[in-house]
Structures are given as structure tokens and as C-alpha cells.
Amino acid sequence: MSVREKRPRGCASIGKVCLVGLLFLGCSRKEENLAPMPFFDDFNRVELGERWSGDPVWRIQDGEITVAGAQNRPLWLRASLPDDAVIEMTARSESPDGDIKFEIFANGRDHASGYILIFGGWKNSISCIARLDEHGADRQELARPGLVEPGRSYRMKVVRRDKVIKWYVDDKLLLDYYDSEPLRGTGHDRFAFNDWAARLFFDDVRIRAATAQDP
């Protein structure tokens, strides 16, 4: 009997099933890229639409994203970030606790699956860039109480080039983070707004690939 004849019955069918499964996964991932880069959203509409995915606690109000009490259930952009990216947005908190929060280079499903950026967290006492754990010992932080003023809008800009993340607030460098093993590629290519309890507002999100001219 030849080697070909010794192959167990059903292998061909199993192979076809596996191939179909792989093709399906690939198509599903492609369909998730619903917001091609460069990306901009001013939220001047009533519904979030198919480009965003998250808990119903997230909604649009008067042309802004608003949320309160999400308890780390992010609102995900259904699109892949460039490996080196510039992410900009306007954000404000209506709470004395501050706690403006968003996530970058995450997996599109789980909180703390990428980098977590928090402006005025922990009762408006600490701002940080954290990797995979906002309480981790390796986070870069700035301990400055009262940094977030309730009702004030801040323009955020985050630049990731190679192994360095720089976070600017109103054109001033707030924090930078060096990662010798940067999170990138499939599973680390998504952006999300996040929130714990504070009433937050986000608007005018811009995302593009970083260039050599970016700081």
C-alpha cells in the first residue's frame, strides 16, 4: 500500500475544514477594519455607528462621546492602528476625581491588554502610562494632585515611534515611556476610550501613521 493510501479517511475533509476556518478568521479580522487610516471622527451624529463597539453605557451627546461608570468596559475603535502612530483627541472630565482614561495598542476586547494612559487617576492624584497593568510597578507616572480641572477640555496627543511613547497634553510633554519589547501587531493594534466612574467626554479623534517629523 502506498503512503498516500495509508492516509486515514477523513483527513482531506478535516484539512478542508481547517482551511475554511482559517479563511473565515482572516475575513473576520479584515471586516473588523471598519475605519481606514488616517482616521477622524467628530461624533456629529446621534448613533455611534459600526466603527465603534462597546457597552451601551457609551453614547453620543451633543456631538461628543460621553460616559460615566463604565467600570473598565472600553469603547473600541474597530480598526487596526499603525505600528507607529499619532493619536489625538479632546477630552474632559466633569468630576473632581479627574480620571481621564484611554488605551492604545490593545486587543480590541479586554481592558489592560495594551498600554493604559490615565490623566488624573486615583482621585486626581496620579497620571501614568502603564503596560498591561495600570497598577504595575513598571508604569511611568507623574504624582501631581489636582492636575485635571473639572469642565476643562484638554487636547491630547500620543506619539508612538519604535520603542518610545510620548504623551502631550495641550502641546506640553506629560509623560514618556520606553518599552524594550513594544506591544505591536495583531492582538496589540487597537484603540479604546475607557472610564471607571467619572463623567467623561471625548471628541475629535484623529489617528494616523507617525513619521520622522513627529516629535
Indicate the pLDDT class of residue 197, thresholds 50, 70 and 90. Answer: very high
- Taking alpha carbons only, the member of 2, 169, 187, 17 closest to residue 87 is 169
- At 69, list the grid cell: 461608570
Question: pTM of the entire structure?
Answer: 0.86
Q: CA-to-CA distance for 183 and 105, rounded, in angstroms?
A: 7
In the chain, what are the domain boundaries?
1-32, 37-209
Q: Which residues pair with 136 in a beta bridge?
A: none
Q: Going by C-beta distance under 8 Å and a sequence separation of 6 or more, which residues neighbour residue 158?
A: 85, 86, 87, 88, 104, 117, 165, 166, 167, 168
Q: Is 134 helix (H, G, I), strand (E, B) or coil?
A: coil
Q: What tens digit of pLDDT does each residue of 175-192 get?
A: 999 999 999 999 999 999
Q: What pLDDT, in 10s, does the model give residues 125-139?
A: 999 999 999 999 999
Nearest-angstrom CA–CA distance, 17 and 62: 48
CATH homologous superfamily of domain 37-209? Exo-inulinase; domain 1 (2.60.120.560)
